Structure 1
Amino acid sequence: MSIKLNSNEKYIITLLRSVLNNSIPPEKPEDVSFEKVYSIAKYHNIANMLFYAINKLEKKPNSEIFKRWKERYYKGISRDLIQKSELEKILNIFEKNQIKNIVLKGFELKKLYPKSDMRFMSDIDILISKKNAEKVSLIMNELGYKTMSYGKEKDDIYFKEPIMNVEIHNALFNIHYKKYNSFFKNLDEMKNLISKTKYQYNFSNEDFFLFLFIHTVKHYLYSGIGIRIVMDIYLYLKAKEKILNWDYINNSLQKLELLEFFKIFNHFTKTWFEDEKESEIDIEIGKYIFNSGTYGNTKNNRLNILFSAKEINIKKSKVKSIFSIIFPSLEIMQISYPILKKLPFFLPIFFIIRGLKVILFKRKNLNYISDIFKINKDDLNKRKDFHSKTGLK
């Protein structure tokens, strides 16, 4: 498979550039298919944004595709309005109930786009102190939200018809991202926060960017990232680059062993949305992102898990990865079985209970093990080489 973008993918980047620059997009080349462009745009949740460019073309898609595209555009506007209205309600009641919070990622990033509805957002993420989780749960239920998940890992999840997904975080990363959690800590221990109201806070510009970039790396090395995140990074740096404390950012990234990757990734974003000349690794990153889609894909996930095992021998990588699934750490087991916090010596018994549940009810874990076994040496070596060239070890 070629690592170069095909004509449809290249045209998508061209259309996105025209939207970000508020310019007239070029007409569709002969070797580009509107059907394929629309399909890829859906895969990356940017179809609503691309419509702003498509609507300016003299030669538009056929009526059927154009109608579907226009529906995505209107749904994007509706989604944006509903999310803004609901977030305002949530923050107002948090303020009245003295709940310290930070709204994460999406809503701040929306401000950087020409129009806020262009930046599709699947859910709203809010960081709170863990001590307020129960209080917040009652509030969310009073606001008409159904509890989808509570007390598991780092976030509680709530849903309200028709489209409102809200994730209430008590930490920024899951427990196995120890390096990242030690850098950011929990909300009550965070420094450099900027007060918006008595109880609502923002990160400093530098910490906002660091969280955004580290969160990007986390997904990049898990199942992959989509085009939208590339735009987020590009637009944030374009807006804030001259006012950021780069000594602080570079030192922080150096400690997290991400500085080299940041420099390469930052250059890559400019090959898409400015006129920086692209290198071979820029082309590879671009293809990796196009293949990943909004939330990544299974093949990326399996290869990246074996890459993360840090073993030279593929058999050892597979054994190590599968072992971590069958026998998770005590910390991870305590999430599913809280009794282990008080009685950790019962861990072997709960490994057996967990194994039976996997066999009887969680077949996807067995599929995961099967997928790991199917990975071949050549594919894994290519993935290791790819990540190594971008500074990810």
Structure 2
Amino acid sequence: MNTTERVLITLLNKAIHKEIATLDELDEIHWGKLLYEAKEHHVSPLVYSAIDRRDAVKCIAPELLKDWKKEVFYSGINQQNHIIKVGEVLEKFNENNIAVIVLKGLVVREYFPMPQLRTMSDADVLVHKEDLERVSKMMEELGYTQTKDEDDHGAHIVFHKPGQPIFEVHWTLANKAFFKGDTSWEDNLWEETVEVEVGGVKTLSLGLEDLAVHLCIHMAVHLAHTGFGVRQLLDLVLLVEQKGDEINWSSFIQKAKACGIYKFTLAIFIACNRLFSMELPIELKKINALSKISNKYIELLIEDIFASGVHGTKDQTRVFASEFAFDQSEGAAEGRGSIFKKYMKLLFPPIKDMGERYSYARKFIVLAPAAWIHHLFVGLLNKDYSFKNKMKMATATIRVGNKKNMLLKELDL
């Protein structure tokens, strides 16, 4: 970790434990860099809550502090409105007698010192697969539009309505595309649910044990696909700290093994312990979790978390490299040679797989070199990325991809 990342962790630690940083701890911080990191991980309001306002004016530029304060104020209002609107839709589920389980942020926000500090922009829920048609009809009656079906991250349908929260409706939490394992751990999900309130509306949440498993699954999926940020770690830390005594950790470990994320889960718990001093459950201590994965890979994991940002898209080079490091059909790539082959295939794709603009090469195979040069120029002239970013991607993709590849293989993803 660099200095800014260490300061971010220090302030987040204070925030989630309802502590305030002293003036000495705030001195000599590069606030512009810190705020950038906080925004990339969607934890800016949390960091702000750990700062004594009287001390802040002594060390933070007035305009930066003013804008930050305004951002946190409006973020709080938006989060309160978000939960109210989500509650209104959940009420419709109840009225239509459609069983629904709320997931992730809608539940763990209650473990934060102030729920509105845990930001979110959508709402993830789980329903029975046989209720999907009724759910679609209900959402359409509420003015929502189904924007896409099963997507690359797993089985869910996305519903969108201008000015309203995006709803991601899942019918399974197992994600076969991104990790090994089976769906047996889901067999008793519905029997083990607990009642919660969201926006003043009674609904269901996963049992604490299954909630912990799902948080780890979600991080595993995102690590394999692009990446995830510090906020996801905080969700797990607060769940473990506040509800750990109520979780059957032996059963949790068996479920993590069943869905193929056991080694990844060990790494995540070690990272949470290292960054936030989260006490490891005794069951993990008994299996000597701290020695199961070498320090090298824990450092790689933490590096990836900071470099990814909340949705894994902070650094486009890493996004690009992740596509080389993980193959949905095969899992982690098989070593450095495989990544290099994928990279070369991107630069010089099979002629039969190239677009219509290169049809001349399919007709006359001797023109293949010309088509590949044409393909490279099209890429260089693409306006979606700056020339600087293209060069960075070209030179860094294999290096970053190799590191990501090693991490995914070590964690059995």
| TM-score (structure 1 length as normaliser) | 0.76
- 2:225 aligned partner: 222
> Are residue 43 (structure 1) and residue 40 (structure 2) matched?
yes
Checking the alignment, whether the CA contact within 8 Å between 2:324 and 2:339 is kept in structure 1 is no
**Residue 214 (structure 2) pairs with residue 211 (structure 1):** yes
Q: Secondary structure at the match of 2:335?
A: coil
Instruction: State the SS of the aligned residue for 2:312.
Output: coil
> 1:279–1:200: structure 2 CA closer, same or farther, 3 Å change rule?
same
SS at match of 2:166: strand
Tell me if 1:119 matches 2:118.
yes
Determine if contact 1:24/1:56 at 8 Å carries over to the other structure: no
Please list, as runs of the form range in 1=range in 2, the aligned pairs for 1:148-297 lying within 5 A after superposition: 148-153=146-151, 154-162=155-163, 164-173=165-174, 176-177=177-178, 179=180, 182-183=183-184, 190-194=189-193, 196=195, 200-274=203-277, 281-297=297-313
What displacement does 1:130 show?
Answer: 3.4
Displacement of 1:10 after TM fit?
Answer: 1.3
Q: Secondary structure at the match of 1:221?
A: helix
SS class of match (1:196): strand
The change in CA–CA distance for 1:141 and 1:383 in structure 2 (over 3 A counts) is: closer
Partner of 1:97: 96
Aligned partner of 2:72 in structure 1 is 73
Q: In the TM superposition, what whole-angstrom CA distance separates every residue of 1:73-120 from its partner, at most 9, and x where no partner exists?
A: 112211221122112211211111111211111111001101101111
Partners of 2:268 and 2:161 in 1: how far apart?
Answer: 36
Q: Deviations over 1:38-96 (max 9, x none)?
A: 11111111112212123445133222111221122112211221122112211211111
Letter in 2 for 1:19: A
Query: Residue in 1 aligned with 2:412?
Result: 392
Give the 3 Å change call, closer, same or farther, for CA 210–64 of structure 1 in structure 2.
Answer: same
Structure 1 unaligned spans of 5+: 328-350
- Cα distance in 1, alignment partners of residues 49 and 39 from structure 2: 15
> Equivalent residue of 1:242, what SS?
helix
- TM-fit CA distance, 1:319: 4.4
Q: Is the 8 A contact 1:318 1:372 kept in 2?
A: no
CA distance in 1: counterparts of 2:227 and 2:138, whole angstroms:
34
Q: Show the counterpart of 1:14.
A: 10
How many matched pairs?
353
Q: Secondary structure at 2:125's aligned position in 1?
A: strand
2:322 corresponds to 1:304? yes
Distance in 2 (CA, whole Å) between partners of 1:139 and 1:210 is: 30
Task: Point out the more displaced range, 245-254 or 301-310.
Answer: 301-310
Q: 1: CA distance between counterparts of 2:243 and 2:137? A: 38
* 1:149-205 deviation per Cα after TM superposition (whole angstroms, max 9, x unaligned): 14444323233443522222233355635746624559xx855332639x9433222
Structure 1 pair 355–98 and aligned structure 2 pair: CA distance change class (3 A): farther
Choose 171-180 or 216-225, whichever is displaced more: 171-180
Provide closer, same or farther for how the CA distance between residues 386 and 299 of structure 1 changes in structure 2, counting only shifts above 3 A: same
What is aligned with 2:84? 85
8 Å CA contact 1:172, 1:184 repeated in 2: no
Residue 303 of structure 2 aligns to which amino acid in structure 1?
Answer: K
Alignment match, 2:403: 382
AA matched with 1:25: A
2:134 alignment partner, SS class: helix
Amino acid paired to 1:385: M
Shift of the alpha carbon at 1:213? 0.6
Identify the residue that residue 368 of structure 2 maps to in structure 1.
none
1:224–1:293 CA contact under 8 A, matched in 2: yes
Aligned residues with identical type, % of pairs: 22
Q: Which residue of 1 aligns with 2:30?
A: 33
Which stretch shows the higher mean deviation, 52-61 or 169-178? 169-178
Contact 1:227 1:289 in 2 (8 A): yes
The 8 Å contact of residues 18 and 24 in structure 1, kept in 2 or not, is answered as yes
Q: Which amino acid aligns with 1:392?
A: D
Q: Which runs of 5 or more structure 2 residues have no equivalent in the other structure?
A: 197-201, 280-289, 327-331, 360-377
Kindly tell me: are residues 261 and 152 of structure 1, through their superposed partners in 2, closer, same or farther at Cα, counting changes over 3 Å? closer
CA separation of 1:284 and 1:132: change in aligned 2, threshold 3 A: same
Query: Structure 1 stretch 260-269 or stretch 113-122: which is displaced more?
Result: 260-269
**Aligned equivalents of 1:179 and 1:173: distance in 2?**
10
Q: CA deviation at 1:372?
A: 9.2
Closer, same or farther: CA 260–136 of 1 in aligned 2, 3 Å: closer
> What amino acid sits opposite 1:196 in the alignment?
E
Question: How far is 1:239 from its partner?
Answer: 1.7
TM normalised by structure 2 equals 0.73
Question: 3-state SS of the aligned residue for 2:112?
Answer: coil
Instruction: Give me the whole-angstrom Cα distance separating, in 2, the residues matched to 1:232 and 1:9.
Output: 18
Distance 1:310 1:183, change over 3 A: farther
The secondary structure found in structure 1 opposite 2:168 is strand
Matching residue within 315, 319, 337 for 1:314:
337
- Please tell me whether the aligned partners of residues 125 and 169 of structure 1 are also in contact (alpha carbons under 8 angstroms): yes
Amino acid of the structure 2 residue aligned with 1:42: K
